[in-house]
Protein backbone atom coordinates (compact mmCIF):
# COMPACT_ATOMS: atom_id res chain seq x y z
CA UNK A 1 0.00 0.00 0.00
CA UNK A 2 2.87 2.36 0.86
CA UNK A 3 4.49 1.75 -2.56
CA UNK A 4 1.14 2.39 -4.26
CA UNK A 5 0.73 5.78 -2.51
CA UNK A 6 4.30 6.73 -3.39
CA UNK A 7 3.70 5.80 -7.03
CA UNK A 8 0.52 7.89 -7.17
CA UNK A 9 2.34 10.78 -5.50
CA UNK A 10 5.22 10.54 -8.00
CA UNK A 11 2.86 10.43 -10.99
CA UNK A 12 0.91 13.43 -9.65
CA UNK A 13 4.15 15.38 -9.11
CA UNK A 14 5.29 14.60 -12.66
CA UNK A 15 1.91 15.72 -14.00
CA UNK A 16 2.10 19.09 -12.21
CA UNK A 17 5.74 19.67 -13.17
CA UNK A 18 4.93 18.93 -16.79
CA UNK A 19 1.93 21.29 -16.69
CA UNK A 20 4.16 24.12 -15.45
CA UNK A 21 6.92 23.60 -17.99
CA UNK A 22 7.72 26.10 -20.73
CA UNK A 23 5.96 25.88 -24.07
CA UNK A 24 7.53 23.64 -26.64
CA UNK A 25 9.42 25.23 -29.54
CA UNK A 26 7.20 26.43 -32.36
CA UNK A 27 4.32 27.57 -30.17
CA UNK A 28 3.56 31.27 -30.21
CA UNK A 29 3.28 33.39 -27.06
CA UNK A 30 -0.04 34.90 -26.01
CA UNK A 31 -1.16 38.05 -27.80
CA UNK A 32 0.54 41.02 -26.15
CA UNK A 33 -1.31 43.81 -27.91
CA UNK A 34 -2.17 45.46 -31.18
CA UNK A 35 -0.41 47.71 -33.65
CA UNK A 36 -2.64 50.75 -33.97
CA UNK A 37 -2.82 53.65 -36.40
CA UNK A 38 -5.20 56.59 -36.27
CA UNK A 39 -5.69 59.30 -38.90
CA UNK A 40 -7.45 62.52 -37.90
CA UNK A 41 -8.16 65.26 -40.44
CA UNK A 42 -9.82 68.55 -39.61
CA UNK A 43 -10.68 70.98 -42.41
CA UNK A 44 -11.54 74.48 -41.26
CA UNK A 45 -10.47 74.11 -37.64
CA UNK A 46 -11.34 76.46 -34.80
CA UNK A 47 -9.99 79.80 -33.60
CA UNK A 48 -7.37 79.59 -30.82
CA UNK A 49 -9.79 81.36 -28.48
CA UNK A 50 -12.15 78.39 -28.90
CA UNK A 51 -9.55 75.69 -28.23
CA UNK A 52 -11.90 73.81 -25.88
CA UNK A 53 -14.21 72.86 -28.75
CA UNK A 54 -11.82 70.05 -29.71
CA UNK A 55 -10.56 67.52 -27.16
CA UNK A 56 -8.73 64.37 -28.29
CA UNK A 57 -6.94 61.82 -26.09
CA UNK A 58 -4.94 58.74 -27.14
CA UNK A 59 -3.84 56.54 -24.22
CA UNK A 60 -1.63 53.45 -24.48
CA UNK A 61 -2.57 51.67 -21.26
CA UNK A 62 -0.80 48.61 -19.95
CA UNK A 63 2.46 49.08 -21.82
CA UNK A 64 5.84 48.90 -20.10
CA UNK A 65 7.35 50.96 -22.90
CA UNK A 66 7.22 54.73 -22.28
CA UNK A 67 7.79 55.68 -25.91
CA UNK A 68 4.72 54.34 -27.72
CA UNK A 69 3.63 56.85 -30.33
CA UNK A 70 4.67 58.60 -33.49
CA UNK A 71 2.82 61.65 -34.80
CA UNK A 72 3.33 62.10 -38.54
CA UNK A 73 6.32 59.71 -38.27
CA UNK A 74 8.01 61.70 -35.46
CA UNK A 75 8.59 59.64 -32.31
CA UNK A 76 7.06 61.09 -29.15
CA UNK A 77 9.60 60.37 -26.39
CA UNK A 78 8.28 59.24 -22.99
CA UNK A 79 4.66 59.63 -24.07
CA UNK A 80 2.05 56.98 -23.41
CA UNK A 81 -0.68 59.65 -23.47
CA UNK A 82 -1.27 62.14 -26.31
CA UNK A 83 -3.71 65.04 -26.13
CA UNK A 84 -4.85 67.56 -28.72
CA UNK A 85 -7.13 70.59 -28.46
CA UNK A 86 -8.38 73.24 -30.85
CA UNK A 87 -4.95 74.91 -31.11
CA UNK A 88 -3.73 71.78 -32.91
CA UNK A 89 -6.33 72.44 -35.65
CA UNK A 90 -6.12 76.15 -36.60
CA UNK A 91 -9.04 77.96 -38.19
CA UNK A 92 -9.00 78.15 -41.97
CA UNK A 93 -6.50 75.30 -42.40
CA UNK A 94 -6.66 71.59 -43.12
CA UNK A 95 -4.63 69.62 -40.61
CA UNK A 96 -3.96 65.88 -40.64
CA UNK A 97 -2.32 63.87 -37.88
CA UNK A 98 -1.29 60.24 -38.33
CA UNK A 99 -0.82 58.72 -34.88
CA UNK A 100 0.78 55.30 -34.84
CA UNK A 101 2.13 52.88 -32.23
CA UNK A 102 5.78 51.87 -32.63
CA UNK A 103 5.13 48.53 -30.89
CA UNK A 104 2.05 46.47 -30.02
CA UNK A 105 -0.07 48.12 -27.32
CA UNK A 106 -2.06 45.93 -24.88
CA UNK A 107 -4.90 48.43 -24.39
CA UNK A 108 -5.49 51.60 -26.39
CA UNK A 109 -8.16 54.08 -25.32
CA UNK A 110 -9.27 56.91 -27.58
CA UNK A 111 -11.50 59.85 -26.66
CA UNK A 112 -12.72 62.13 -29.46
CA UNK A 113 -14.80 65.23 -28.81
CA UNK A 114 -15.43 67.72 -31.61
CA UNK A 115 -17.94 70.45 -30.83
CA UNK A 116 -18.97 73.89 -32.07
CA UNK A 117 -21.15 76.84 -31.23
CA UNK A 118 -23.99 78.33 -33.25
CA UNK A 119 -22.15 81.57 -34.02
CA UNK A 120 -18.91 79.93 -35.24
CA UNK A 121 -17.99 78.64 -38.71
CA UNK A 122 -18.52 74.95 -39.36
CA UNK A 123 -15.58 72.60 -39.86
CA UNK A 124 -15.25 69.07 -41.20
CA UNK A 125 -13.58 66.06 -39.56
CA UNK A 126 -12.52 62.58 -40.60
CA UNK A 127 -11.40 59.78 -38.25
CA UNK A 128 -9.90 56.45 -39.27
CA UNK A 129 -8.71 53.70 -36.92
CA UNK A 130 -6.64 50.77 -38.15
CA UNK A 131 -5.94 47.93 -35.74
CA UNK A 132 -3.35 45.37 -36.84
CA UNK A 133 -3.71 46.73 -40.38
CA UNK A 134 -7.51 46.32 -40.51
CA UNK A 135 -9.84 49.33 -40.64
CA UNK A 136 -12.09 49.40 -37.55
CA UNK A 137 -13.58 52.88 -37.91
CA UNK A 138 -13.69 55.12 -40.96
CA UNK A 139 -15.83 58.21 -40.44
CA UNK A 140 -15.34 60.70 -43.26
CA UNK A 141 -16.37 64.30 -43.91
CA UNK A 142 -18.50 64.84 -40.83
CA UNK A 143 -19.60 68.48 -40.61
CA UNK A 144 -19.40 69.99 -37.12
CA UNK A 145 -21.55 73.08 -36.75
CA UNK A 146 -23.67 74.71 -34.07
CA UNK A 147 -26.14 71.81 -34.02
CA UNK A 148 -23.86 68.81 -34.55
CA UNK A 149 -20.97 67.29 -32.65
CA UNK A 150 -18.88 64.13 -32.71
CA UNK A 151 -18.11 62.51 -29.39
CA UNK A 152 -16.90 58.93 -29.10
CA UNK A 153 -14.85 56.78 -26.74
CA UNK A 154 -13.13 53.73 -28.19
CA UNK A 155 -11.12 50.90 -26.68
CA UNK A 156 -8.93 48.75 -28.90
Domain positions in the chain are: 34-155
**In angstroms, rounded to a whole number, what is the distance separating the alpha carbons of residues 74 and 150?**
27
The pLDDT score that the predictor gives to residue 30 is: 54
**103 vs 27, higher pLDDT:** 103
The CATH fold of domain 34-155:
Lipoxygenase-1 (2.60.60)
User: Based on the number of CB atoms within 10 Å of its own CB, is 54 exposed (0-12), middle (13-18) or buried (19 or more)?
Assistant: buried
| Contact indicator for 152, 115 with CB cutoff of 8 Å | no
> What is the band of 85 on the pLDDT scale with cuts at 50, 70, 90?
very high
**25 vs 91, higher pLDDT:** 91
Q: Any idea which of 6-20, 38-52, 71-85, 132-146 has the lowest mean pLDDT? A: 6-20
Amino acid sequence: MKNFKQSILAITALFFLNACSKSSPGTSPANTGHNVKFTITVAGGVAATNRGLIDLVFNAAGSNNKTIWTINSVQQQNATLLTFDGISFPAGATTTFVIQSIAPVPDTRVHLDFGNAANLPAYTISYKAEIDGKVQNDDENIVINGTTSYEHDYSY
